[in-house]
């Protein structure tokens, strides 16, 4: 794209705001453009500003201040040591984030910015790329996965769009730069990144890519669990309708199998089409992962013969634990995922319902009930009854017993303390927190 067209695009955007796009950068980021010559803002910040403010139906309600807190990355023609030396002259603290890959971190106004030397890929193995440094902006942009991620902007506010990314945003289209099959083989994680960006920007799915994903998805087996979870977390945090569309395509393309939700030797019936049961909450990644696990187990029941796990609940718990381990969820994330699975499958038991609502909190409990309603496992009427049962928890009652009370009363130790405390808590909850300490201790045995 010529510079004249770039300027025209910049003027179009500037007219929308009555200011230049450069004026939307925080001052700390702007300083980098003036400190380091031959440097530009690159990637996501430009894409998101253009999308939300030029082409989104809610653009007039978009809070520009929000954009100031988004990640802002930079690319430069200078080598990493040259960038560091310049920052040193301005007394800017730097961090050697990935100097072998050309990245220097700079901390300005307590914000960490990454500045990366222009690069060109010389070798890709499906996971990592060997690069050499360069000074060619087009070659550097060509490394990006999608046209909408190849935008850059200089200190004068001129936007450089070498692969028609702005036009693709206007046309609600997500396109690979170059041949999709070749670009995916360079890094198989690009399969998941495709769905991440289509969900993030509500871009329509390209059905023609389904066969390409199908022929390449086994490459995801070579990607680390952390990287898989990082992308899946962003996908699952999407709006429910676009998420459902993405998950269905991921299922049809065999992607769910190769990220661990099905076993490699499981023969899946691609004709299984009960997608009415595939329903999600808005922007709640772990709850949506629990819903996805629930749906996957239903598919297993319909299409696969699994004889080593006894029942549906155990299958879901088994799959949740497997995914938590494989994707390397944190201890907190794993616990929350299991709480969602357990609560869903004990929703018809009053004692367990009350116990779980108290332990996980009313906000999570409400989300789970809503999710179970959406998947037609309980009705809205039942949900209202279940919520009324726990209304007393809004007063934040304090459970009157502790382990020391149990020891003093019953002279027990170890797991027996936990068992009696749990039993007492159920009695307390069934009384809507009215049973006091004395009553509970006298009625435990």
What's the CATH code of the domain at 7? 3.30.460.10
User: Is residue 123 included in any domain, yes or no?
Assistant: yes
Using the predicted structure, report yes or no on whether residue 280 has a pLDDT greater than 90: no
DSSP 188: T
User: Is residue 249 included in any domain, yes or no?
Assistant: no
Residues 352 and 438 in one domain: no
What is the model's pLDDT at position 260?
95
User: Is residue 13 included in any domain, yes or no?
Assistant: yes
Residues 101 and 164 in one domain: yes
User: Is residue 264 included in any domain, yes or no?
Assistant: no
Which of 146, 178, 210 corresponds to the end of one domain?
178
Residues 121 and 61 in one domain: yes
Q: What is the pLDDT of residues 356-390, one digit of tens each?
A: 888 888 888 888 888 787 767 788 888 888 889 89
pLDDT level of residue 420 (50, 70, 90 thresholds): very high
Q: What is the pLDDT of residues 82-91, one digit of tens each?
A: 999 999 999 9
Residues 55 and 107 in one domain: yes
Residues 19 and 87 in one domain: yes
Query: Pick from 325, 328, 359: which is nearest to 342 by CA?
Result: 359
User: Is residue 321 included in any domain, yes or no?
Assistant: no
| Strand arrangement of the beta sheet that strand 103-108 belongs to | 93-98, 103-108, 111-117, 73-76, 39-42, 152-153, 159-160
User: Is residue 427 included in any domain, yes or no?
Assistant: yes
List Cβ neighbours of 312 (8 Å cut-off, separation of 6 or more).
297, 301, 345
Tokens (6 digits) for 10: 């910049």
User: Is residue 64 included in any domain, yes or no?
Assistant: yes
With contact defined as beta carbons under 8 Å apart, do 198 and 246 qualify? yes
What is the model's pLDDT at position 328?
96
Residues 74 and 133 in one domain: yes
Could you tell me the residue range of the domain that residue 419 belongs to? 403-442
Q: What is the value of pTM for the model shown?
A: 0.82
Which of 178, 195, 213 corresponds to the end of one domain?
178
Residues 99 and 78 in one domain: yes
Q: What is the pLDDT of residues 221-250, one digit of tens each?
A: 999 999 999 999 999 999 888 999 999 999
Residues 96 and 64 in one domain: yes
Residues 108 and 67 in one domain: yes
Least confident of 95-99, 195-199, 255-259, 308-312: 308-312
Q: Which residues pair with 112 in a beta bridge?
A: 107
What is the C-alpha separation between 168 and 204, in angstroms, rounded? 11
User: Is residue 52 included in any domain, yes or no?
Assistant: yes
Total domains in the chain come to 3
DSSP assignment of 128-178 equals -EEEEE-S-HHHHHHTSSBGGG--EE-TT--EE-TT-HHHHHHTT---BSS
Residues 414 and 385 in one domain: no
Residues 114 and 28 in one domain: yes
């Amino acid at each position: 794209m010529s510079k004249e067209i770039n300027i025209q695009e910049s003027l179009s955007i500037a007219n929308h705001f009555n200011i230049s796009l450069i004026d939307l950068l925080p001052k700390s980021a702007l300083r980098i453009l003036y400190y380091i010559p031959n440097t530009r803002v690159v990637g996501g910040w430009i894409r998101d500003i253009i999308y939300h403010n030029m082409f989104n139906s809610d653009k007039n309600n978009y809070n520009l201040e929000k954009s100031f807190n988004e990640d802002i990355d930079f690319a430069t023609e200078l080598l990493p040591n040259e960038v560091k030396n310049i920052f040193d002259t301005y007394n800017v603290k730097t961090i050697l984030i990935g100097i072998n890959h050309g990245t220097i971190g700079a901390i300005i106004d307590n914000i960490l910015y990454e500045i990366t030397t222009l690069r060109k890929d010389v070798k890709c193995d499906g996971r990592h790329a060997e690069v050499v440094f360069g000074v060619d902006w087009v070659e550097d942009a060509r490394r990006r996965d999608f046209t909408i991620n190849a935008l850059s902007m200089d200190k004068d506010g001129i936007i450089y769009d070498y692969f028609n990314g702005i036009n693709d945003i206007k046309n609600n289209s997500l396109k690979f730069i170059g041949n999709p099959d070749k670009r995916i083989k360079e890094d198989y994680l690009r399969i998941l990144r495709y769905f991440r960006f289509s969900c993030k920007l509500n871009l329509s799915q390209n059905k023609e890519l389904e066969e390409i994903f199908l022929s390449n998805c086994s490459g995801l087996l070579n990607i680390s669990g952390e990287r898989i979870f990082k992308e899946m977390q962003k996908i699952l945090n999407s709006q429910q309708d676009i998420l459902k569309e993405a998950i269905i395509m991921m299922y049809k393309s065999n992607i769910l199998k190769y990220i661990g939700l099905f076993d490699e030797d499981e023969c899946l019936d691609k004709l299984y089409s009960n997608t009415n049961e595939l329903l999600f909450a808005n922007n709640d990644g772990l709850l949506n992962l629990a819903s996805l696990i629930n749906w996957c187990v239903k598919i297993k029941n319909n299409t696969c013969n699994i004889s080593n796990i006894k029942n549906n609940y155990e299958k879901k718990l088994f799959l949740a634990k497997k995914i938590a381990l494989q994707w390397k969820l944190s201890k907190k994330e794993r616990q929350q995922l299991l709480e969602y699975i357990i609560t869903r499958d004990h929703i018809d038991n009053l004692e367990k319902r009350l116990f779980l609502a108290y332990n996980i909190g009313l906000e999570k409990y409400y989300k789970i009930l809503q999710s179970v309603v959406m998947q037609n496992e309980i009705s809205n009427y039942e949900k209202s009854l279940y919520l009324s049962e726990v209304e007393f928890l809004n007063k934040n009652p304090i459970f009157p017993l502790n382990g020391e009370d149990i020891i003093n009363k019953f002279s027990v130790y170890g797991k027996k303390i936990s068992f009696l405390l749990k039993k007492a808590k159920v009695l307390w909850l069934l009384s809507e927190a009215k049973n006091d300490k004395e009553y509970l201790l006298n009625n435990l045995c």
